[in-house]
Amino acid sequence: MKIHDDTMKQEGRIDEVINIVEKHTRTARHLENYSDIIAPEEMAHTKEIQKKREDDIRAIKNKIVYGTGESIDEMSNIRENLKFSEGYLNNNFDTMNPEDRENLETHIKNRKEKLNMR
């Protein structure tokens, strides 16, 4: 069973890195196309999100390649991301399109589940 569990974790990590890379690519494309009309504070926020995605990609890659387990630092990151996501949802709920709102609510739910599993 241990091998099966490890395989499932690896598959989940690969799916997660694919998801993050796709988001990073879409956002980069939007920045290229619309950088002239994006407000400076929104641009700064987007760049922070992109940096976080790059860090996440690197961390997941290291887990896949070197087999490092989840650390206390990762738990801290999950808590921080959860707090950020909930704040973003609360502040922007009325202006978000339904699909984005649903995606963010799903991310929040998943982060809460990750925290409860440990």
Q: Nearest-CA neighbor of 88 among 110, 116, 107, 115?
A: 107
CA dihedral 47, 49, 52, 57 (to 10 degrees): -100
Q: Is-above-0.85 flag for pTM?
A: no
**Per-residue model confidence (pLDDT) at position 79:** 87
**Per-residue model confidence (pLDDT) at position 59:** 86
**Per-residue model confidence (pLDDT) at position 102:** 93
**Per-residue model confidence (pLDDT) at position 15:** 93
Q: Give me the residues of the chain with pLDDT under 50, please.
A: 118
CB of 27 closer than 8 Å to CB of 50: yes
- Using one digit for the tens of pLDDT, what is the confidence trace for 92-101? 999 999 999 9
Mapped to the 3 state alphabet, what secondary structure does the chain carry? CHHHHHHHHHHHHHHHHHHHHHHHHHHHHHHHHHCCCCCHHHHHHHHHHHHHHHHHHHHHHHHHHHCCCCCHHHHHHHHHHHHHHHHHHHHHHHHCCHHHHHHHHHHHHHHHHHHHHC
C-alpha to C-alpha distance for 8 and 59, rounded to whole angstroms: 18
Find where tokens 């709920």 sit.
Answer: 93
